[in-house]
Amino acid sequence: MNASSPPGQPPSQPQAQPRNPLHGLTLEAIVTALVEQYGWQGLGERIALRCFTSDPSVSSSLKFLRKTPWARAKVESLYLFMLREQQRRQRESR
């Protein structure tokens, strides 16, 4: 039974999060987007982690980030920054 459902009620569906840009994204999608935007070297310069600077790969980065909440938070924060910058550039180019 889902912990958010009252007793005797069927399990509820997960809450929609229309204002959360990370909702529905996998960590793999986030890392891949960052690598496409900045490259491994640029990513390693922005977030100094060995998984980005020493023989980097998506799979090795995912293993580390899944075990290290503070590092994952930095990656998610950089992803949100990247999205804001892309939106700002789009507004300026109009």
Q: What is the pLDDT of residues 10-35, one digit of tens each?
A: 555 556 677 888 888 999 999 999 99
Q: How many CB atoms lie within 10 A of CB 63?
A: 12
Rounded to a whole number of angstroms, the distance between the first and last alpha carbons of the chain is 50
With beta carbons less than 8 A apart as the criterion, state whether 20 and 4 touch. Answer: no
Task: Output the pLDDT for position 6.
Answer: 58
DSSP state letter for 10: P
Q: Residue 56, CB half-sphere, CA atoms under 13 Å: how many?
A: 21
Phi-psi region of 26 (alpha: psi -120 to 50; beta: other; left: phi over 0): beta
Pairwise CA distance, residues 40 & 37, whole Å:
9
pTM for the model: 0.78
Q: What is the structure's pLDDT at 58?
A: 97
CATH superfamily of domain region 27-92? SAP domain (1.10.720.30)
Domain spans in the chain, listed from the N-terminal domain onward: 27-92
Q: Cα separation of 15 and 31, whole Å?
A: 25
Residue-wise pLDDT for 43-79, tens only, equals: 999 999 999 999 999 999 999 999 999 999 999 999 9
